[in-house]
Structure 1
Amino acid sequence: MKLHYQLHGSGTPLVILHGLFGTLENWGSQIKALSEHFQVVAVDLRNHGRSPHAERTDYEVMAEDVISLLDDLGLDCVNLMGHSMGGKVAMQLALNHPERLKKLIVVDISPVIYPHHHQDVLTGLFSIDLEQIKSRTQADQQLSTYIEEPGVRAFLLKNLYKDDNKQFQWRMNLATLSQEYKHISAAPSGSPFSGKTLFIKGANSDYIQAEHRNAILALFPQATYKVIQDAGHWPHAEKPAIFTQLVIKFLAD
């Protein structure tokens, strides 16, 4: 699996992984800010963005995809940061290959099993008639029946593109992501990662909860955490300046 990626800046490598239904472009403002301090490697995970599609989507294979990319780039040891699903990929990589990491940053996700909470999203995405829509506005109108929040719809519809026949298609492998959702909901597992780890939580998000503390410390005994006030599940986009400062300080210490 040859993942699509972008390189920005110079210095110590910082690999960044996006969440479910996302792409590396979701990290745009952070890539710009962080590339002033690090060599940023922004990655599209399998079945997302411009990376290849495959039937299997679980954390073991997604972590190995990233390792293969590091090998191809000649990067022996990096800092690694992942958001949501990408945070679980990052955790699994740390558990499987601790020697490849300097430090780990996990954004608004815990190493636990989550109940299925994307059914409305999946139903809404499958409801869009790609053969009939002529614009993103029409797609947005169809999706609004299932998803009320305009920002969430805009995030999801970034996956739409027009092929050579001017037909709308999904960049993400929607069918496989739906079929493999149980693996995406699963928890990473393995021997504890003894390296320094930072969990960043949006104060208004419920993805990281107090009852997850034991699960976090069992796998990441050196974990610390920071809470960004007035932010939800996307603190890197909602409070970008504060987020950037936290990342730079943690990686510099």
Structure 2
Amino acid sequence: MTYSAMAADVLAFCKKHGFEEISLLGHSMGGKVAMTVALDPKLPSNLLKHLIVADIAPSRGAMSPEFQGYVEAMKKIEQSQVTSRQEAQKLLAPYESDPMTRAFLLTNLAPHHGHDPVKFRVPLDIIGDAIPEIGHFPYEPGERVWEGPTLFIKGTKSRFAYITILMCSC
């Protein structure tokens, strides 16, 4: 689970479907993937027309203890075999006090039926193991450049972004 591997997946998908001149939008982790696509040496010259990055910067650094706690809590929810979103919400509360953030995290729950235990759509074991890589970015500043039109967006109440709204037409 690296940004280079995820960017390669995006490039392979675009090639398979014959896409050209796309506008690529990535939010948070997806934003780092989108930036990695734009900077990939294998990027076809006719593929990317616009790059839009929301709530993330091409920075390197350790993931916050808060993020690591989210993964731990989500694993705890699955291990506890709870059968409702409400029960999952209660297990998540000690890790995150904000009910909106908890609700956002629980959007990753897969639909379930009856009294089956809830499960997350995302592979928590892989994400947990990849936490050091998730904070990484594959390119040093100035190492690679994409010169196409780019829009960076930061939510005004976001705790997760490091940039302000910036429109660039390089």
2:6: which partner in 1? 62
Q: Which consecutive unaligned segments of at least 5 residues does structure 2 have? A: none
1:98-113 pair list within 5 angstroms: 99=45, 100-113=47-60
Partner of 1:172: 122
The superposition leaves residues 112-169 of structure 1 with CA deviations (integer Å, 9 ceiling, x where unpaired) of 1133211221222122144531211011111111111111111111222327983322
Q: What is the distance in 2 between the residues matched to 1:111 and 1:126? A: 28
The match for 2:135 is: 185
Cα separation, partners in 2 of 1:70 and 1:192, compared to 1, 3 Å: same
TM-score calculated relative to the size of structure 1: 0.57
The correspondence of residues 235-246 of structure 1 with structure 2, limited to 5 A, is none
**Alignment gaps of 5+ in structure 1:** 1-56, 211-223, 227-249
Give the TM-score normalised by structure 2: 0.82
Give 3-state SS (helix, strand or coil) of 1:170's partner.
coil
Which of the pair has the greater relative contact order for Cα pairs under 8 Å at 6+ separation? 2
- Deviation of 1:171 after TM superposition, in Å, equals 0.8
- Partner amino acid, structure 2, of 1:168: V
Q: Residues 71-150 of structure 1: matches in 2 within 5 Å?
A: 71-96=15-40, 97=43, 99=45, 100-117=47-64, 118-130=67-79, 132-150=81-99
CA RMSD of the aligned region, Å? 2.5
Residue in 1 that maps onto 2:162:
208
Identical columns (%): 35
203 and 164 in structure 1: CA distance in 2 versus 1, 3 angstrom threshold = closer
Find the partner of 1:225 among 150, 154, 166: 166
Q: 1:47-58 to 2 correspondence within 5 Å?
A: 57-58=1-2
Considering fraction of residues, name the structure with more strand: 1
Rounded to whole Å, the distance in 1 between the matches of 2:78 and 2:8 is 35
Residue 194 of structure 1: CA displacement?
1.1
